[in-house]
Every structure is written in C-alpha cells, then in structure tokens.
Amino acid sequence: MADVVPWSMDSLPASLRWCAAYASSRPVDKKCAVSLAKFLSSRNTSRTSELAQLQPTLRERELIMAEQPNESRLEILARELIIIRILFANSEDFIKSNFQMRDCSSLYFTKTSNSKSKKTLAEAATCSDCFIHSRAAYYPNSDENGTDTGRCGYGSFGATLNGGDVAAASDLYRDGVGCGACYQRRNTHHNGLLNQVRCTNSYYCTNNGVTIVITDQGSSDNTDFILSRRAFGRMAQTTDAAASLLALGVVDIEYRRVSCSYPYKNITIKLDENSNYPYYLGFVIWYQQGRSDITAVQLCETQNFVCKLLDRSYGSVWTTTSPPSGPLSLRMLFSDENGDETWVVPVNNIPNDWKAGQTYDTGVQVNL
C-alpha cells in the first residue's frame, strides 16, 4: 500500500476537524468524506496510479464485510476501510463512483428466531414496514411505570416517559444506540391455514397493541423486550383480561419500529449533576423523535466553531472532558434505516453560564 498523505488535525480547517475526528472511530457520511478528500487531494494530486492499485483492496474488504458476519472483525474492517477511503481518495468523482458511504453495522447483525428463520438486527431496529416475531415479559417487581435506574440513563424521567409505556430491550439496545427508539407491538398467532397474524387469545388481547419507548437494557426467557406492567397490560382488551395476561408472564408478540412523536415537546438535554467546567460536561438526550438513531453528538464553540466530538458514555448519555467554552452549539447525527446520515443543528444554544443538573430546550423537533 502506498504511503498516506501526511496530515494532522491542526492542519485541517476548523470546519473539517470534526470530519476527521469522526472518521477515526467509525464510518462517516458521504458529504463529510467528500469535503475531507477534496482538501487532502489539493495537497497531493499525483496519486491516480496508487488509487487504481488500491481499488481491488477496497472491494475485497467490502466483500469480506458482506459475506462473513463476524461483528468484531467487521468493526475493525469498517474503521480501516473508511480511513483508507478518506486518506487515499483523490477526487470527488472517485468517491462517488466507487464508494457508498454508510453505516456498516447493518451488514453483520443477525439473529435466529424460534422458527429457524433468520432476521437481521438492523432490520428489527429500523424496519417500518415489517413485523418481527418475538416474545415479551414485564418487570415483575415494579409499579405500573418503568424503572428509574434504566441503562439508557434517563433516571426518573425514563419511568414515566411516553405515559409509562416503556421497555427494556435485549439485542435492540445496541450498546445504547437503541435508547429512545419507539416500537409498536401486538400479540400474535399463526392459524396454520392462511398464515394470518392475530391475537393469540381473542379473549385477552387486542390487535391494536401498544407503542413503547426503549429506556433500559435487559432480557428474560428469550425475550426481546421487558415491558412496564402498564404497557404489558395495555395489550389486553379489558382490565380483567390484563390481569390474566400479567399472570402468563411471557407472551408471543410481533413488533416493528415506528416514529417517536412527542407533541409540543422539543428535543431536550439534561446536564449531568457532576458537570463542572472546565473539567467535565455530560448530558442525556430526552424526547428523541422520528425513526432514526442518534449516532454521534458534537459540541461547538459558537464564536470560532471549534468542535469536539462527544463520547457515548452509556445509553443516551454523552460526555466529554475539557468541554469547549462559551455558548455551545449542539450537533446531532441522525442515521436512518437506509444508512443515510443527517446532521441536525438545534436553534437554541447551551448558554455560557450552563449549570449542572439543568435542562435545556434545543428548540427543534425532528422527523427523520
């Protein structure tokens, strides 16, 4: 492999530093890659032959990623691939003709159901037109609402979010990326003749189901979800039927991802109680809307646009040490089921005198 064009973060324009920082940890969106490649190519324009030699290597890696579903190996390949693409790409045309810049995670998550048919975790996490067959339990030792100690980091807010119709997820938690996602579910039954989907027991269950929000991580008895008692009971037709359903403990369901909607609510952040400038800043994102995942978050100084990519500490909690100073502009990267990525910049900034434990309304609603 040819030598990489020398460069450093300090040599990049401020507007491209976040592109480079993001590229070092995972695939980036196409616009970012093109902009960065243009800048790098302007420093060295004699790499056409090297690109021709590199192209088979890129395609070989992409075939490995598509045909060998091994998560840990593909994580490494995906990161290697995006860095190769950006550092060696010599023109915008080369990128457009050879690369599909998208999140590679959808290539390697698979799950086998009880019927021995395979489904992808990415499909279950994003598909809006298909129902996935699974099982659900409920929190046995809780009140009607969810837990206030969930792994998404919502605290007491997570127990009552969506009216208490919340759940813990197993695979769909996706290392915290799945926090805040909404799913619609209903009980299922195959009659063996027409393969129709309907409630398992017409006396207990309703075909309407219930829409829940992921606020925690957990599984029980090969389930995809552990629902709050309220959400579990709301799958039943009547109060008496709900009691009978709760007595069963675990039920067969089908579910699909749906768009989250919080009328009259903007995306809001709540600062960690331990936040302390200039040493540490952390916050959790509330009221995540739409059907896309938040896969990256940045904080930018509003005056000189120096940006810092935050770490996902866990769940929906984002943190950084040595946070930028002054009023801060928040940037959130939304990734949809097709791999398209969109940066959203809220209209409201985090004020210069931000306080630990405070909540700040971003002023935006998102339907991506």
pLDDT in tens, 304-337: 778 899 999 999 999 999 998 889 999 999 998 8
Question: To the nearest whole percent, how much of the chain has pLDDT over 90?
Answer: 34
Taking only the tens place, the pLDDT of each residue in 140-149 is 776 788 888 8
Residue type, 239: T
DSSP per position, 164-196: G-EEEESGGGGGGTTTT-EEEEEE--B-SSS--
Residue type, 192: G
In this prediction, residue 59 carries a pLDDT of 54
Over residues 71-95, the mean pLDDT reads 47
Residue that wins the pLDDT comparison between 62 and 223:
223
Question: Does 109 score more than 60 pLDDT?
Answer: no
Question: Does 294 score more than 60 pLDDT?
Answer: yes
Domains (range + CATH), the chain: 12-107 (no CATH), 112-258 (2.40.40.10), 268-361 (2.60.40.760)
Confidence of residue 125 (pLDDT cuts 50, 70, 90): low
Residue 299 in tokens:
């904080």
Indicate the pTM of the whole model.
0.65
Q: How far apart are alpha carbons 115 and 110 in whole angstroms?
A: 14
Question: To the nearest whole percent, how much of the chain has pLDDT over 70?
Answer: 59
According to DSSP, the residues that pair with 344 across neighbouring strands are: 332
Residue 14 in tokens:
């401020």
Give the chain's length: 368
Q: Phi and psi of 157, rounded to 5°?
A: -60, -35
Question: Does 225 score more than 50 pLDDT?
Answer: yes
Residue that wins the pLDDT comparison between 99 and 188:
188
In this prediction, residue 254 carries a pLDDT of 82
Taking only the tens place, the pLDDT of each residue in 39-81 is 555 554 344 444 444 445 555 555 555 555 554 454 445 544 5
Q: How far is CA 357 from CA 163, 257, 325, in A?
A: 23, 31, 18
Question: Does 206 score more than 90 pLDDT?
Answer: no
H helix intervals, the chain: 14-23, 30-41, 48-67, 71-88, 92-98, 121-126, 156-160, 229-233, 239-248
